[in-house]
Amino acid sequence: MSAPRRYGRWLALIRAGFLGVVFVFVVFPLVWLALASLKTRAAALEVPPALVFTPSFEAYEKIFASGLVGAFANSLTIALTNVALSLAIGLPAAYALARMRGAVQQNLSFWVLSIRLAPLFSIILPLYVLFKALGLLDTRIAVAMAHLTLTLPLAVWLLMTYFRAMPVDLDEAAMLDGAKRWQTLLLVIVPISRPMIASVAVIVFIFSWNEFLLAFFLTARDAQTVPVVVAGLAGTMSFDWPLIAAISIGSMVPALIFVGFAQRHIVEGLASGAVK
């Protein structure tokens, strides 16, 4: 019985070493970014970089001074609008799909899933032309609507998978007591599903908050979201590394708050129910 034990010790060693490397790979860039956000512009350009330095909040002050807070307001408004719309539209649809059988249900769910897998680039030009014709380019409305292409299918798919795993007895009991379908959904299903609905809300929020491509094509100045601003600043010739780093750190805040809370469901969300 010595052979497995020998393998065991080696494997444990390899595991620990591998884990160490992974941790450094994942964490170091973030630490470096955080440090950069606390440097002055000149300090960020030093080679070799100073590991010990007096932190400066210059970059964070600059965010407020230069009106970049507006981008955070845009991102927040757009993301919250998406949470509200995706749940309001997605909940009944997901419930109906979960309780249906047959061709209509299959085709509709395939359509919803295939949107998740479609290339965003394909719908951008038409959306651009459409919003331009409506005079909605560079408005929060346009970006929020465009984000629905991502967030609505996601919400529907997640909630549908969840509702389908719920026993039908609950619905039947409610309907025997004379409840209509919408009453069953609102008064029976939704209250029980609160944790899942909260997770979906978080996932939708993060997707909308992080999205770049649509926001980038559809905005010019007024409605720019945080990722678009980061990309814009990273494209200017006079690099202000600490400022971009500070905005980047700011842009992570909501995601990092939520990730501990809804980690497991975020996983399923990203895989659109392909993970069971």
Partner 1 sequence: MALSWRFWFLAPMVMALATVVLFPTVYLFWMSTQHWLVTDPQRFFVGTDNFQRLLAGADFWQALRVTAAYLVLSTVIMLGLGLGMALTFARAGRGWMRAIVVMPLVIPPVVAGFTWRFLLNGEIGFLGAWLLPAIGLELNPLAEPRAALVSVVIADVWSRTPFMFLILLAALQSIPRDFYEAARMDGANPFHEFFFITLPLLKGALFVAILFRIVDAINTFELIYVMTRGGPGRATQILSIFGWRTAFQELDFGQAAALGVVLLFICLAGAMLLFRRFVQRDLEAGA
Query: How many residues bind to partner 1 according to rule CB under 8 A?
Result: 103
Our finding on whether 259 is near partner 1 (CB under 8 A) is yes
173 CB-side CA count, 13 A = 7
Our finding on whether 162 is near partner 1 (CB under 8 A) is no
Indicate which single residue of 81, 82, 149, 219 sits in contact with partner 1 (rule: CB under 8 A): 149
3 state SS of 235: helix
Our finding on whether 92 is near partner 1 (CB under 8 A) is yes
Pick 173 or 271: Cβ nearer partner 1 = 271
Contact 267, 275 (CB under 8 A): yes
CA dihedral 95, 97, 101, 104 (to 10 degrees): 150
Least separation in angstroms between CB 148 and partner 1: 5
Our finding on whether 118 is near partner 1 (CB under 8 A) is yes
Our finding on whether 134 is near partner 1 (CB under 8 A) is no
Indicate which single residue of 2, 54, 122, 236 sits in contact with partner 1 (rule: CB under 8 A): 122
- Total Cβ atoms within 10 A of residue 264: 10
Q: Where are the alpha helices (DSSP H) in 51-102?
A: 58-65, 69-98
Our finding on whether 263 is near partner 1 (CB under 8 A) is yes
Extract the tokens encoding 32: 């470096």
23 CB-side CA count, 13 A = 6
What amino acid occupies position 244? Answer: I
Indicate which single residue of 40, 53, 77, 130 sits in contact with partner 1 (rule: CB under 8 A): 130
Indicate which single residue of 63, 83, 85, 189 sits in contact with partner 1 (rule: CB under 8 A): 85
Extract the tokens encoding 26: 């994942």
Cα(236)–Cα(240) distance, integer angstroms: 9
Extract the tokens encoding 17: 């070493």
Cα(100)–Cα(219) distance, integer angstroms: 40
Distances (CA, A) of 132 to 45, 195, 219: 42, 39, 11
Our finding on whether 27 is near partner 1 (CB under 8 A) is yes
Pick 12 or 69: Cβ nearer partner 1 = 12
Indicate which single residue of 82, 227, 240, 243 sits in contact with partner 1 (rule: CB under 8 A): 227
Contact 94, 153 (CB under 8 A): no
Our finding on whether 223 is near partner 1 (CB under 8 A) is no
Least separation in angstroms between CB 45 and partner 1: 5
Indicate which single residue of 137, 162, 209, 246 sits in contact with partner 1 (rule: CB under 8 A): 209
Pick 173 or 259: Cβ nearer partner 1 = 259
48-77: contacts with partner 1 (CB under 8 A): 48-49
Indicate which single residue of 40, 53, 56, 164 sits in contact with partner 1 (rule: CB under 8 A): 164
Our finding on whether 197 is near partner 1 (CB under 8 A) is no
Pick 4 or 67: Cβ nearer partner 1 = 4
